[in-house]
Amino acid sequence: MKPYTKIVAVLLAVVALLHLLRVVLNLELSVDNAEIPIWVSVLGFIIPAVLSYGLVKESQAKS
């Protein structure tokens, strides 16, 4: 796995885990007095997790 690919995969995994933490702990998030619903973090978990997994699998297939 190339270093940049590994870094991006890890960053995407961290983003996914932070969104999952928000969902599990039911943390409220607001931006400029607008509350961000929990479903945004559900998508924020799924999308980066799938991308991170895909990067790891793709880099292993090329080896």
What is the average pLDDT across 1-22? Answer: 95
d(CA 13, CA 32): 27
Report pLDDT for 38: 97
Which residues, 6+ apart, have CB-to-CB distance to 15 below 8 Å? 44, 48
Q: Is 19 left (phi over 0), alpha (psi -120 to 50) or beta?
A: alpha
Query: What tens digit of pLDDT does each residue of 15-57 get?
Result: 999 999 999 999 999 999 999 999 999 999 999 999 999 999 9
Q: What 8-state DSSP symbol labels residue 34?
A: E
- Give the model's confidence band at 60: pLDDT under 50 very low, under 70 low, under 90 confident, else very high: confident
**Domain ranges within the chain, ordered by starting residue:** 3-62
Report pLDDT for 63: 63
pTM above 0.85, yes or no: yes
d(CA 41, CA 12): 14
Report pLDDT for 19: 98
